Structure 1
Amino acid sequence: MACKTLLTVVTEQGPDGPGMAGLETAIALARREDAHLDVLVLGVDQTQYGYFSAGAGIAMVQETLAQAISGAEDLERKVRQRLATEEIRWAVDHAVAQLGGIAPLVGHRARFVDLVVQARPYGAGRSSADEAVVEAAMFDGQAPVLVMPDGMVNPPAFDRVVVAWNQSPEAMVAIRRALPLLQRAAMVDITVVDPPAHGPERSDPGGMLSQWLSRHDVRAEVSVLARTLPKVSDVLARHIRDRDANLLVMGAYGHSRFREAIMGGATRSMLEKTPVPVLMAR
Structure 2
Amino acid sequence: MKSVLLHIHDDRGAESRLQAACDIARASDGHIHCVQVTMLPDFVAADMYGGASLAPAMIDELRAIDEKVRARTEERLQREGVSWDWRQVDGDIVRGLLSAAKLSDVIVATLPEGTRKDFSDPMPICADLALAGRTPVMAVPQSARALMAAGRALVAWDGSQEAAAALRAAVPLLKLAQEVHVVTVEEAGKYPFPATDAPEYLARHGIATQLHTWPQDGRTVAEALMAAIRVLKPDWMVMGAYGHSRLREYVFGGVTRTILHEVRVPVLLAH
**Bucket of the pairwise TM-score, normalised by the shorter protein:** 0.7 to 0.9
* Contact persistence 1:11–1:130 (CA under 8 A): no
Equivalents in 1 of 2:26, 2:212: separation in Å? 34
Q: 1:46 to 1:109 in 2, by over 3 A?
A: same
Alpha carbons 2:22, 2:32 under 8 Å: kept? yes
| Contact persistence 2:185–2:214 (CA under 8 A) | yes
Deviations 1:194-247 (A, max 9, x none): 436343xx2x65123333333333333332223347653333222122113222
Name whichever of 31-40 and 169-178 sits farther off.
31-40
Within the candidate set 72, 79, 83, 2:77 is matched to 83
Answering whether residue 166 of structure 2 is matched by residue 174 of structure 1, we say: yes
Aligned to 1:106, which of 82, 97, 100? 97
CA distance in 1, matches of 2:25, 2:212: 32
Asked if 1:142 corresponds to 2:134, the answer is yes
Q: Is the 8 Å Cα contact of residues 104 and 136 (structure 1) preserved in structure 2?
A: no
The Cα of 1:54 is off from its aligned counterpart by 5.5
Q: How many angstroms apart in 2 are the aligned matches of 1:154 and 1:10?
A: 17
Structure 1 match to 2:7: 9
Query: 1:266 — aligned with what?
Result: 255
Deviations 1:75-99 (A, max 9, x none): 11221222233322111232232xx
Alpha-carbon distance in structure 2 between the residues aligned to 1:113 and 1:31: 16
Are 1:277 and 2:266 counterparts?
yes
8 Å CA contact 2:6–2:35 kept in 1: the answer is: yes
Q: Residue type matched to 2:66 in 1?
A: A
Backbone CA RMSD of aligned residues: 3.2
- Alignment partner, residue 248 of structure 1: 237
CA contact (8 A) 1:10 1:20 kept: no
TM-score of the superposed pair, with normalisation by structure 1: 0.79
Percent of pairs with identical residues = 24
2:87 paired residue number: 93
Q: CA 1:229/1:85 → structure 2, altered by over 3 Å: closer, same or farther?
A: farther
Question: Aligned pair in 2 of structure 1 residues 277, 112: CA closer, same or farther (>3 Å)?
Answer: same
Distance 1:73 1:171 in 2: 39
- 1:35 correspondence with 2:67: no
**Paired residue for 1:215?**
204
Structure 1, unpaired ranges of 5+: none
| Shift in Å, 1:261 | 5.4
Residue aligning to 1:115: 106
1:26 aligns with 2:18: no
TM-score when scaled to structure 2?
0.82
210, 234, 237: which one aligns with 2:223: 234
Structure 1 consecutive aligned stretches of length 4 or more whose deviation exceeds 6 Å:
126-129
User: Secondary structure of the equivalent of 2:86?
Assistant: strand
SS in structure 1 of the partner of residue 123 of structure 2: helix
Letter paired with 1:170: E
Number of residues of Structure 1 aligned to a counterpart in Structure 2: 268
> Residue in 2 aligned with 1:130?
123
Does structure 2 retain, via aligned residues, the 8 Å contact 1:6–1:36?
A: yes
Any unmatched runs of 5+ in structure 2? none
